[in-house]
Structure 1
Amino acid sequence: MVVFPRDAKGNIKPARILATPHRGFALAVDEEKQELFVGVQYPPEVAVYRKGASGNEKPLRSLQGESTRLSDVHGIAIDPKNKLLYTTNWGHVSDYRMVGTGRIEDPSISVYPLNAEGDTSPLRTIQGPKTQMDWPAQMTIDPETGDLYVANDIGHSVLVFKGTDQGNVAPRRVIKGNRTGLMNPSGVFVDSKNKELWVSNFGNSSADVFPLNADGNVAPLRTIRSAPSNKVSLKFGKVEALAYDEGRDQVWVPN
């Protein structure tokens, strides 16, 4: 993980570099305790460091193990008010040390005490077909209302749960539809000061801004783009191999 000054510009060196576990995907910070949470896809883990950690500094603690029900972690949210940690899980489960342990579970959100470590079971889990989760990515929580916003990648939507939800429950609200501009959203952020929700879209190279109470097929308040609206992203992600088909004159790229 690289850290730059807030006002950094141009081709500059990072202020510090922290060696984190391979396949780290999600970050969150507990400002009160000055701790950095790193979500790791596989083997699934949440590693917790000092916020100012650098180099090869070891984590303060780690949440991992079969009882945690972590599986392909893609998002982390922290509720400092209620001392809770939320993770999104894609449901790809296996123990790399044991042949035949692979299985697929429904995507889920797991909830833990903020200071959880080791092989700790979740306090509760949001999981099931009613949730509409399909590759749930980053999350963010509104500290005032307890609303939990989830970027729902393949669902092209933002799902809004209550932080107290449990089990196979439907979202309280869903931002989705052709007017929203959402396409493979992967990041969300609550701007409490301005009462706005920011959403980054992997699928169309954009960031959309909605009112915090947005619901349904609503247009964003504004959009920031790094490409024209009709430009379709290649959507490459962690490409590690390719092949050329001479017969079809095609390049095949697995993602």
Structure 2
Amino acid sequence: MVYPTQFQPTDRVMEPKRRLAGPKTNLALPCGVAVSPEFQEMFAVSGDGQDINIFPMVAEGNSAPSRVIHVPHASGGVSFDIKHDEIYITTEHANRISVYSRKAQGDDDPLRIIQGPNTSLADPHGIYVDADRNEILVTNHGNWRKTRTGEAFALHGDSKFAFMRGSFSHPGPVEPLGPSSGKFMPPSIMVFSRTADGDAGPLRTIQGPRTRLNIAVGISRDPETGEIVVANSGDNSILFFAPNANGDVAPVRVLAGPATNLKGATGVAIDTKHNELWVTSWENHMAAVFPRKAQGNIAPLRVIHSAPQNAPPATMGRLGAVAFDPKRQEILAPN
């Protein structure tokens, strides 16, 4: 959905200027979008798909993408680097970052992959590329297992699991799944070199109880101050970290509290032209605009509502299975 950045404050539901939806779009649980005003393109990744769908900036309705790049299943985030003409995506279950040329299409291979035990990636979601500082910023939920460079997705057959390198449309060799290595790690923000490739470790890791990280999703950076800005969905807050933050460090400031009306903050962006901070809040169907230097328990300047304020959220996404408990008369579903 496309909305104007400047509008009069209102409590009413605001209709978007344009809406892109329908079977032709090839979208399946859209998790991230990046835009290139220079090339008039939008790049969208889907949690339940295996493509980067690329649309013209003016696309609307049930429109097919202008081109598609086939990628590993279940991408979580996307960022575009205009300076180097590259698209960066995260793949959650494969603990992987993939880098593609903007001009890539179809089964074109990535230019680089960051994946392997030394990366310490653990269920990566949000991603932001800082071309000026030559850094990649990534949020991790903390679900870790040992991966090998090039792993893409799991296969299930004959009651045994195996992993395949490549993609659904461009498969590589199938390898047996080794002994379980999964474990839960504390959530984190990792900073990699922009040119990192293969099983490369992060330059810095922000992780630990002082960080307040809890289901961190969207991530951005203030291009002027260098502050790292994170949408912290687990405690309905926006966290701001120093440019070179490392280890178990506290945020330099926090935007949180009942006045903010944030409920499940998932996305964050900085509008340098208007000195504003944008936050998406999915549990109450809201995009909120704050002052760029906002902190503490303050109300947004204005809000976009995509549904009535009292409309309850389903709070469900990507349900992978369902079961019925006849004893308790309950339906169980992993969310």
Q: TM-score range by the shorter chain?
A: over 0.9
Equivalents in 2 of 1:75, 1:87: separation in Å?
6
Whole-Å separation in 2 of the counterparts to 1:61 and 1:80: 16
What is the distance in 1 between the residues matched to 2:333 and 2:281?
21
CA offset at residue 149 of structure 1?
0.7
1:43 is matched with which residue? Answer: 94
1:95 aligns with 2:146: yes
Gaps of 5+ in 1: none
* 2:49 equivalent in structure 1: none
CA drift of 1:10 comes to: 1.5
User: What is residue 80 of structure 1 aligned with on the other side?
Assistant: 131
Alignment of structure 1 residues 44-123 onto 2, 5 Å: 44-95=95-146, 97-123=177-203
What corresponds to 1:3 in structure 2? 54
- How far the C-alpha of 1:182 sits from its partner, in A, is 0.7
2:116–2:146 contact (8 Å) kept in structure 1: no
CA shift for structure 1 position 239: 0.6
Distance (Å, rounded) in 2 between the aligned partners of 1:144 and 1:198: 16
SS in 1 for 2:210: helix
Query: For 1:25-79, what per-residue CA distance to the aligned partner results, in whole angstroms no more than 9, with x for missing partners?
Result: 0101111000000011111010000113221111001001110111100111122
1:176 to 234, 252, 256: 256
Helix, strand or coil at the partner of 2:180 = coil
CA distance in 1, matches of 2:56, 2:231: 27
Question: Is residue 69–residue 107 contact of structure 2 (8 Å, CA) maintained in 1?
Answer: yes
Q: Percent identity?
A: 39
1:86: Cα distance to partner?
0.9
Query: How many residues end up aligned between the 2 structures?
Result: 255
CA–CA separation in structure 2 for the residues paired with 1:250 and 1:5 = 45
- Which of 52, 65, 71 is the matching residue for 1:20? 71
Unaligned runs of 5+ in 2: 1-51, 148-176
Look up the match of 2:162: none
Task: Output the CA distance in 1 between the equivalents of 2:246 and 2:210.
Answer: 12
Deviations 1:134-155 (A, max 9, x none): 0111101111110111010111
Alignment partner, residue 220 of structure 2: 140
| 2:62 aligned partner, one-letter code | N
Code of the aligned partner of 1:34: D
Paired with 2:110 and 2:69, the residues of 1 have a C-alpha distance of 10
| TM-fit CA distance, 1:18 | 1.4
* 1:94 partner amino acid: R
Residues 105-254 of structure 1 mapped to structure 2, 5 A cutoff: 105-246=185-326, 250-254=330-334
Distance 2:268 2:306 in 1: 17
Normalised to the residue count of structure 2, the TM-score between the two structures is 0.73
Following TM superposition, where does structure 1 have runs of at least 4 consecutive aligned residues deviating by more than 2 angstroms?
A: 95-98, 243-253
Cα drift, residue 253 of structure 1 = 2.4
RMSD across aligned positions (CA)? 1.4
Q: Larger radius of gyration, structure 1 or 2?
A: 2
User: What is the identity, as a one-letter code, of the residue corresponding to 1:64?
Assistant: Q
- Offset at 1:181? 1.3
